[in-house]
Amino acid sequence: MSPLKRRQFGQLAAASLTSTLIADFYSKALAQKIESSNEVLYEVNLLDTSNTQNRENQTPPLELSTAELTTGKVLSKLNQPEISVLNQLVELSIDNPLAVPKRSRAFFLGDSNRITKAIVLKDKTLLISTVSSTRNGFFNYLISGVGGAIDSIFTAKKVLGFERANQTVESLLSLPNNQLLCLLGNEGIPPFTLKTLDTRIGKILSDDELSLPSLPPNHRFANLCQDAKGNIFGTEIGSEGIPILISMNLEDKAQITGKVKIKRLAPLNFKGRPLSNDLKDLNFSSSGELYALATDNAFAADNDQKNNDKKNNALFTVDVESGRMKPVRKLPAKKFAFL
């Protein structure tokens, strides 16, 4: 090999090595950037309830974890026992007009608890909505966690102001002025109603200052969430049985009725097939991505399986325009919210 060719070869080899080092450095830097920007979410589950729990005046016990969005690495975990709300009722001097309506049920399967939504307010407070079912009716609670993921201090309020004994808070999201937008169901089934709730006293407001829309009486609505622009999203299931992604904006109202308009965007689908079951939860990340919690076997070939255990739940991304869902990872939780 001539000196010139040897020199050219050496230059090419050095350039190749430099390129390799730069590429390797860039890859590591990119990986570190991705790892450092990995978002964190709350995973909320129910704990086993003792026989002594007073569901009429105590919240259900909860397990709260924080974990990395993409890897699922658990960062913290705590157990929150039952919280009494008797002080709230005493402070408000609650009497019959605001007390939770009761109605004894002849057909009753047993006491139970549900988590219906978890959200993070602008002041970083974690707010969890639960429903306790008893023979005498349903009792709805708002559980608030303030502080760090490990040393949070929890308080609770009973939701008051229901018109009927079988009404339940099925979903909610944050509004200005210490208010929440709530989706009320009847024992969790249609008809559904949109209402506002005052978080300071835990009372559903009778006035409709937002001109909220009336909902079709035979449709199921669920999974309220909101993007950074103030657009509200959720799911709706009609007679076809397919969950559809819907949206609305409180500033966008119909000219004739003056009510907020609901837009039906797209059927939720996975691998080109529409979902056969509703989502478990729906939330926007801080980066603006829409994520859904759904049951894994809802998309399996044998849709006859009906195991709704939290271990079979998985996290998906959702394309707002098409309703297309893509899997992210397993998520063993009843509800989730972004930290």
Is 32 or 220 the better-scoring residue by pLDDT? Answer: 220
Q: State the average pLDDT over residues 230-254.
A: 96
pLDDT band at 187 (very low <50, low <70, confident <90, very high): confident
Mean pLDDT for 241-255 is 95
> What is the C-alpha to C-alpha distance for residues 221 and 292, in angstroms, rounded to an integer?
15
- Residue 176, pLDDT score: 93
Which has more pLDDT, 312 or 248? 248
Please report, for residues 158, 278, 286, 304, 305, the alpha-carbon distance to residue 237 in angstroms, rounded to integers and kept in the order given: 29, 8, 27, 20, 20
What is the Cα–Cα distance from 290 to 271, expressed in whole angstroms?
18
At 163, the pLDDT band (50, 70, 90 cuts) reads confident
pLDDT for 303: 41
Q: What are 152's strand-pairing partners?
A: none
315, 293 Cβ separation under 8 angstroms: yes
> Which residue shows structure tokens 């699922």?
72
In the chain, % helix, strand, coil (3-state, to 5) comes to 15, 40, 45
Residue 312 has pLDDT above 60, yes or no: yes
Lowest mean pLDDT among 30-39, 44-53, 120-129, 266-275: 30-39
pTM, two decimal places:
0.82
Its sign, for the CA torsion 158, 204, 225, 275, is positive
Low-confidence winner among 169-173, 197-201, 309-313 (lowest mean pLDDT): 309-313
Mean pLDDT of the chain, nearest integer: 82
* 128/188: higher pLDDT: 128
User: What backbone torsions phi and psi does residue 6 show, to the nearest 5 degrees?
Assistant: -65, -40
Q: Which residue ranges make up each domain of the chain? A: 40-338
- Residue 35 confidence (pLDDT): 44
Q: Where residue 243 falls among pLDDT bands split at 50, 70, 90?
A: very high
- The CATH T-level fold of domain 40-338 is Tachylectin-2; Chain A (2.115.10)
Predicted local confidence at residue 30, as pLDDT: 33
Torsion over CA: 260, 265, 270, 273 (sign): positive
Q: What is the mean pLDDT of residues 260-274?
A: 95
Quote the percentage of the chain above a pLDDT of 90. 62
CA nearest 156: which of 57, 23, 281? 57
CA atoms within 13 A on the CB side of 69: 23
Number of H-type helices and E-type strands within the chain: 2, 22
Q: Which two tokens stand for residue 82?
A: 């039952």
